[in-house]
Amino acid sequence: MKNIILYINILLSSICFSQVGINTNNPQETLHVAGANSNIRVEGLNSTNNSNNLGGTDNYNLMVDEDGNLSVGKQSGLLISNNKLNTPVNLITGSNSELNAAQLYQENFTLSQRAIVVITYHISIEFKQTNGTGEVKDGRAKIAHNYFYLGNGTVPNTTKAYGMSSIVYSNYLDDAAAGSLINAHTEIIPLNAGTYSIHMQGAVFGGGLSSDAAFSANFGNGDRIDVSVIYL
């Protein structure tokens, strides 16, 4: 009887701590699935049981958390695509053509998990006299900037600017050109899960020289912002 009990204990110990092989008698890991065409199916991750699995012919990212739990990641793709400036925003330099900047619009988005975020914008700019209508004819160079801050959904973090794009308008004295110019940029930023805001800025600068170098710029007769995410 003692020999039988000892044998059972040895057998149970071997089962508890042995490696398991499927399609192999010589497993190399705790679980070893052999075969060139072998696969593993977890029904809790299929399109019927998991809302992040949208079915069809697409493949979805398999995620693992700090405890080793497996889950289907959110599908990467386009998150935002729209225009924000239904009415153009007019910015005027300081009285002596000093730099002036202001927020043009805010766009919010939420990430359910860590991702690489691709932000692309373009904004049209029309250079005008300080009255906002007359064409610029003073022969001086004019600069318009666009860039954005990231925020927490409400307040921007102004310590770091992203996506700087600048354009210069100049003309021969008394020979003006009409029409819009474009600032555009694409920025790639890795971000953790959370709610974020894009605070798009416009800025104008005439050199800070004198009052006759002052001007205005209309931002947004045409504009677009696209936000895409690549979930990690």
pLDDT band at 175 (very low <50, low <70, confident <90, very high): low
Strand order in the sheet with 162-169: 100-111, 194-205, 142-151, 162-169
Identify the residue with better confidence: 207 or 103. 103
Q: Where are the domains of the chain?
A: 2-72, 77-231
Q: Please check whether residue 169 is in contact with residue 194, taking contact to mean a CB–CB distance below 8 angstroms.
A: no
Q: Please check whether residue 197 is in contact with residue 117, taking contact to mean a CB–CB distance below 8 angstroms.
A: no
How far apart are the C-alpha atoms of 152 and 158, rounded to whole Å? Answer: 12
How far apart are the C-alpha atoms of 129 and 136, rounded to whole Å? Answer: 5
Across the range 200-218, mean pLDDT stands at 92
Report residue 168: phi and psi, to 5°. Answer: -115, 135
pLDDT in the model for residue 170: 81
- Whether residue 15 has pLDDT greater than 70: no
pLDDT in the model for residue 223: 95
pLDDT band at 177 (very low <50, low <70, confident <90, very high): low
CA distances from 34 to 16, 17, 23, 29, 190 (A): 21, 20, 5, 11, 37
First to last CA, the chain: 58
pLDDT in tens, 59-116: 777 878 778 888 877 777 889 999 999 999 999 999 999 999 999 999 999 998 889 9
CATH architecture of the domain 77-231 equals Sandwich (2.60)
pLDDT in tens, 122-134: 999 999 989 888 8
- Beta-strand relationship, 216-231 and 89-92: antiparallel
- Whether residue 210 has pLDDT greater than 70: yes
- Whether residue 10 has pLDDT greater than 50: no
